[in-house]
Structure 1
Amino acid sequence: MKRLLFVLSASLVLSMLGGCAAVRPPRGTSAGGASPTGDVASMDGKRDIVLAVANPLEPAATHAGSNLLGYTPSANYGAGQRAASALADIEKAYGVRTITGWPIKALGLYCVVLRPPPGVDRDALIARLAADKRVQLAQPLQEYSVYGNDNGSQQAAPQDGRHYNDPYTDLQRGFVETRAAVAHTVTQGDGVHIAVVDTGADMSHPDLRDHVRDGGDDVDDNNTNAFNSDRHGTEVAGIIAAEGDNHQGMVGIAPTSRISVYKACWYPDPAKGARCNSFTLAKALAAVNDTDARIVNMSLGGPPDPLLGKLLEQLLSSGRIVVAALPPGGGTGGFPDSAPGVIVVRSSDTAPAPAGVLSAPGKDILTTQPGGGYDFTSGSSMAAAHVSGILALLLSLSPRLDARTARDILLRTSSVTHGMLEVDAAAAVAALGAEARKQ
C-alpha cells in the first residue's frame, strides 16, 4: 500500500509518495460505576438478544437512591421502577442474563442485551419473549460492518474554483471530480452540523481538531486512545470536513461544517474491517436524536433491524437527512439503506446505478488517517462521505431543505466524469441558487 509521507517543507510536500441513550451519564462513568456500554467485544451476534420494555418517566422519588426517573438500581442505569421490575421478572422467568441496558427516551423504552441460558435455542426464546405482554420488542443482536477499504493511489487532475494552500488538494480525486472548489466560491458549509455514526476518529489530527468533536463512545467506555486510533471514522470525517487553508494536508467537501463522531463500530481484528451491532448503533442513534444535527452519515450497513428501524424512522421524521453507503454487493434491503427517505450512495462506476441511488467518488480517495497522517482508500463509505459534505453545502444556503428535494437536486445535477455519472457539488449549489431566485 502506497503511503503519502507528511513532509514539513511546503516545497517538498509532494515530492515523496510511498508505500439506546438519550439520558447519558458523565463521560467515563455510569450509575454504580458500571460500564454504560457493557463489554461490547464479548457480545455475540449469533447468540445474544436485544429486548425492550416500556420505560415511562416517573415522578422523582423522595427516598434515598432515587433520581429524576424514580428509583434506579445501579445495574439498570436510566430504568424507571416499571422497567426495572419487568426486567427482573423476565430474567427470573426465562433464565436470561443481562449484559447491559440503556434507556431510549425518544421511544419511551428501556433496552437490554440478554444472554440466553446455555443450550436454549435463541429463535425459540425470542418468540416466547415477543409473546410476553411486558415485552415491547425482542430481536437478535445483529452485526453490521463499514464499507471499505480497498487501498490504492492515483493522482487527480488540477482544479478550478477556489484555491487552497493545503498541499495535497490536487491529489484529492473526490474533491476535484465533484467540483467542490467551484462550489466553495459560494459556500463551505458554514455551521451545518453532521453526525457521523462510525468508528472513532482522530480528534487531535491537525485537519480535524478544530471542528470535529467526540459525540459519544458506545464501545470503549470513552477510551480516548482507542477512539483516536480508529481508521474508518477518521477517513470519513476528513472527506467531509478537513480544514482548508491551514497550509497542511487536504481540504474537506464542507470544511466549515461541524462534525460529531459517534463511535458505534470497532475493530475486532485490526487486519479486517470494523464491526458494529444492534446495541452500539441503537445507543448512537438515540444520542444523535437529542442533537441539532441535520445530516447523519452512516457509511455502514447490515440486516434489517426492528429497533434500529424505529430509531431511524424517528430521525427521518424529525427532518434529519440520513446518508447511507450502498452495500458492496450492490443490493439494498437492509439497515439503513432500505428505509424510505434515506439517501443511498454508491462508489462511482461505469455501470448504471440502481434507481434513486447517487454515485460519488469512492476509489483512490486521499483522506486523513490516525496519527496525523494521510493515505488513499476506497469504498462506498467514502462515496457517502462526499455526499454528506455536499449536502452540508446545500443546507448552509437553504437550512429548511428536505431530504427528498436534496436528493432530487443531486440526481439531476450529476455530471459525467471519466465516463461515470457522479454528483457535482458546483452544479447542485448553482441549481439550488436558481430555484431560490425563482421563489
Structure 2
Amino acid sequence: MSRFFAIGLIAALLGLGAHANASAEQALQKPTPDVAITPPADAHTPDSSRDILLAVANPLTAPPARAGSSLIGYASSYYGAGQHAAARMDTIKQRYKLRQVSGWPITSLGLYCAVLEPPSGVSRDELVSALADDEGVELVQPVQDFSVFSADAAEKTTPLSSYNDPYVDMQRGFIAIDAASAQTTTQGRGVVVAIVDTGVDANHPDLKARIRDVHDLVDDTPVMASTDSHGTEVAGIIAAASNNNQGIVGMAPKAMMSIYKACWYAPTVGATARCNTFTLAKALAAINNSSARVINLSLGGPADPLLSKMLQRLVQQGRVVVAAMPPNGRLDGFPNDVPGVLVVRSSSATAAMPGVLSAPGKDILTTQPNGRYDFTSGSSMATAHVSGMAALLLSLSPSMDATALRELMQRTSKVSNGQLQVNAGAAVEVLAPPARHSN
C-alpha cells in the first residue's frame, strides 16, 4: 500500500467580485456548462522569498479601447488597469526600480494589484516599509506562503453494503459521519463546490461525471493531472459518484465540482506541492464569477490583510468557505482568521476549540490519480467531508448561510468511535422529513 503525504507551500491572493444584492441563492444561479478546461493565463512563478504584492486604486470605470487596458498575465472580462491606475503603477515602479512580474484587477475592492520584483541588493522588508508610506500605494505586503494539510495513512476497514460501489465498506469517514443515511434524503443536487488545490484527475472513473469545469492556472499542458494527488483526494471525498460500480461514494455524489488548479508538484522525488500568489489569485477570481456556493480551501498560512478583506467579500456574497485547521491548531492565520469561515479539524478524543468543527480525517479511503484509490489522512480530508456535507444541506435549504450551517452541524454532532464529530444524517433529518426523496 503506498503512502501519500502532500504538503504544499501556497502564497495566496484572492480576487473577488462585487457583492451581490440579491439573495445568495439567486446571486449564484448561473447556467451549468459542459466540462471545460481553461488554459493557464501565466505560467510564471513569483518568488515568495523575494517578491512583493502592491495595489493601487483602480475605480470600476473601464478605459476607452485606445487606452490599451489589457492586463499583464491575466485577461478579465470586466476591466483591466485604468489609465490612472496604470500611470500610478508605472510611477511607483520607476521610483523604486521595481520589475513587474504579473498584474491584474480586483474588481470588488477597486484595486489594481501587481506582483513586483525588488531591485537586487534591496531589503524586501525595508522596501515594503517605504512603499507603505507612499501616498499612491493602497496596499503593499510580501508574497506569503501557505500550505495544504495531509498526513501519512494506514488502512482501516468498516463493513457497509448499502451501495454497489465496491470500496464503500472501507470508507471510515463516510460511515462515521452517517452519510448513507443523509443520502436517502439528499445527494447535493444543484450545488456547485469549488476546489482550490492541486489539479484533479478529471478522467478518474469516480470523478469525471461530477466535474463541471477545470481551470488550470499553472501548467502549459492543463490536461496532465497524473501527479495531482492532493486535489484528487479532496474531490473524491466531496463528490465521487455513487452506485456506478466504481470505487467509493462521495459525501454529495450529485453535487458538481469546479476544479481550480493553483498548485503543482516539483518534478523531484518527494517534493511537496507549491502554489504562488498569482496562480491562487486567478483561481479565486474565477470563482467569484462562478455559481459555486461552497469553496473548499484545504490550505492555510500566515495572517494576510489583503486576503482577509477579499475572503470577507466571498462570505458576504453567501459563499460557504470551508477551511482546514493547521497541524499546530492555531487559528490566527489565513483563511481561518476570517469571520464566517467554517474551520475544520480532524476528529480527536480531545475537545475542539470553540467554533471549530470536527470531521473524519484519519485513514480516509479516497480517489487517487490514474484511476486509483488509497488511504490518506489530515485535516484537508476532514475539510472535504464538511464541504460535501454543506452541499447536502444547501441542496435542501439553499438560503442557509455559513453561520446557520455551522450552528446546525455543531448542534447535530454525535460521538462516533469515542470522538464527537459532525453527523450528516442527523443534520439532514433536522431539515427534511425522512420520507423526502433524494435531491
TM-score range, shorter chain: 0.7 to 0.9
TM-aligned CA deviation for residue 94 of structure 1:
0.2
The one of 225, 234, 237 equivalent to 2:235 is 237
TM-aligned CA deviation for residue 186 of structure 1:
0.4
Larger-gyration structure (1/2): 1
Q: Does 1:28 align with 2:39?
A: yes
Aligned residue number for residue 120 of structure 1? 122
Residues 56 and 139 of structure 2 are in contact (CA less than 8 Å); yes or no, is this contact kept in structure 1?
yes
The one of 80, 83, 91 equivalent to 1:81 is 83
3-state secondary structure, aligned to 1:181: helix
Q: Distance in 2 between matches of 1:418 and 1:237?
A: 25
TM-aligned CA deviation for residue 273 of structure 1:
3.3
Equivalent AA in structure 2 for residue 263 of structure 1: K
3-state secondary structure, aligned to 2:209: coil
Equivalent AA in structure 1 for residue 53 of structure 2: V
Q: Distance in 1 between matches of 2:247 and 2:352?
A: 32
Aligned residue number for residue 175 of structure 1? 174
3-state secondary structure, aligned to 1:392: helix
Residues 148 and 273 of structure 1 are in contact (CA less than 8 Å); yes or no, is this contact kept in structure 2?
no
**Which stretch has the larger CA shift, 242-251 or 70-79?**
70-79
Aligned residue number for residue 364 of structure 1? 363
Alignment of 1:6-21 (within 5 A): none
3-state secondary structure, aligned to 2:281: helix
Using a 3 Å threshold, how does the CA distance of structure 1 residues 237 and 76 change in structure 2: closer, same or farther?
closer
Using a 3 Å threshold, how does the CA distance of structure 1 residues 261 and 76 change in structure 2: closer, same or farther?
closer
Equivalent AA in structure 2 for residue 220 of structure 1: D
Residues 238 and 384 of structure 2 are in contact (CA less than 8 Å); yes or no, is this contact kept in structure 1?
yes
3-state secondary structure, aligned to 1:143: coil
3-state secondary structure, aligned to 1:186: coil
Q: Distance in 2 between matches of 1:75 and 1:203?
A: 25
Aligned residue number for residue 311 of structure 1? 310
3-state secondary structure, aligned to 2:163: coil
Aligned residue number for residue 56 of structure 2? 53
Q: Distance in 2 between matches of 1:389 and 1:358?
A: 14
Q: Does 1:104 align with 2:102?
A: no
Identity, % of aligned positions: 54
Q: Distance in 2 between matches of 1:411 and 1:59?
A: 46
Q: Distance in 2 between matches of 1:165 and 1:237?
A: 20
TM-aligned CA deviation for residue 76 of structure 1:
7.8
Equivalent AA in structure 2 for residue 302 of structure 1: G
TM-aligned CA deviation for residue 213 of structure 1:
3.5
The one of 119, 141, 148 equivalent to 1:139 is 141
**Which stretch has the larger CA shift, 84-93 or 400-409?**
84-93
Using a 3 Å threshold, how does the CA distance of structure 1 residues 367 and 220 change in structure 2: closer, same or farther?
same
Unaligned runs of at least 5 residues, structure 2? 5-13, 18-36
> Residue by residue, what CA displacement relative to the aligned partner does 1:268-314 show, whole Å, maximum 9, x if unpaired?
35514323333333322222111121111100000011221121011
3-state secondary structure, aligned to 1:245: coil
3-state secondary structure, aligned to 2:112: strand
TM-aligned CA deviation for residue 214 of structure 1:
3.8
Q: Distance in 2 between matches of 1:80 and 1:374?
A: 49
Residues 281 and 308 of structure 1 are in contact (CA less than 8 Å); yes or no, is this contact kept in structure 2?
no
3-state secondary structure, aligned to 1:113: strand
Residues 3 and 153 of structure 2 are in contact (CA less than 8 Å); yes or no, is this contact kept in structure 1?
no
Output the TM-score relative to the length of structure 2: 0.86
Alignment of 1:265-280 (within 5 A): 265-268=263-266, 271-280=270-279
Aligned residue number for residue 222 of structure 2? 224
Equivalent AA in structure 2 for residue 116 of structure 1: P
Q: Distance in 1 between matches of 2:229 and 2:100?
A: 31
> Residue by residue, what CA displacement relative to the aligned partner does 1:88-113 show, whole Å, maximum 9, x if unpaired?
11111101111111222222221111
Alignment of 1:344-355 (within 5 A): 344-355=343-354
Residues 185 and 432 of structure 2 are in contact (CA less than 8 Å); yes or no, is this contact kept in structure 1?
no
Q: Does 1:378 align with 2:380?
A: no
Identify which of structures 1 and 2 has the higher relative contact order when contacts are C-alpha pairs closer than 8 Å and 6+ apart.
Answer: 2
Aligned residue number for residue 396 of structure 2? 397
Output the TM-score relative to the length of structure 1: 0.86
Using a 3 Å threshold, how does the CA distance of structure 1 residues 142 and 226 change in structure 2: closer, same or farther?
farther
Q: Distance in 2 between matches of 1:340 and 1:409?
A: 17
Aligned residue number for residue 248 of structure 1? 246
Residues 16 and 313 of structure 2 are in contact (CA less than 8 Å); yes or no, is this contact kept in structure 1?
no
TM-aligned CA deviation for residue 254 of structure 1:
0.1
Using a 3 Å threshold, how does the CA distance of structure 1 residues 295 and 270 change in structure 2: closer, same or farther?
farther
Residues 2 and 153 of structure 1 are in contact (CA less than 8 Å); yes or no, is this contact kept in structure 2?
no
Q: Distance in 2 between matches of 1:60 and 1:356?
A: 45
TM-aligned CA deviation for residue 345 of structure 1:
0.6
**Which stretch has the larger CA shift, 266-275 or 177-186?**
266-275
> Residue by residue, what CA displacement relative to the aligned partner does 1:158-183 show, whole Å, maximum 9, x if unpaired?
26xxx211111111111111110111
Q: Does 1:416 align with 2:418?
A: no
TM-aligned CA deviation for residue 215 of structure 1:
4.1
Q: Distance in 2 between matches of 1:59 and 1:373?
A: 48
How many correspondences in the alignment? Answer: 401
CA RMSD of aligned residues (A): 2.3
> Residue by residue, what CA displacement relative to the aligned partner does 1:216-246 show, whole Å, maximum 9, x if unpaired?
222225x224445311110000000001111
Using a 3 Å threshold, how does the CA distance of structure 1 residues 92 and 238 change in structure 2: closer, same or farther?
same
Residues 146 and 275 of structure 1 are in contact (CA less than 8 Å); yes or no, is this contact kept in structure 2?
no
Aligned residue number for residue 149 of structure 1? 151
Using a 3 Å threshold, how does the CA distance of structure 1 residues 372 and 345 change in structure 2: closer, same or farther?
same
TM-aligned CA deviation for residue 82 of structure 1:
1.8
Using a 3 Å threshold, how does the CA distance of structure 1 residues 238 and 428 change in structure 2: closer, same or farther?
same
TM-aligned CA deviation for residue 22 of structure 1:
7.1
Unaligned runs of at least 5 residues, structure 1? 5-19, 30-35
Aligned residue number for residue 429 of structure 1? 428
Q: Distance in 2 between matches of 1:258 and 1:295?
A: 10
Equivalent AA in structure 2 for residue 378 of structure 1: S
Poorly superposed stretches of 4+, deviation over 6 Å: none
Equivalent AA in structure 2 for residue 50 of structure 1: L
TM-aligned CA deviation for residue 38 of structure 1:
4.6
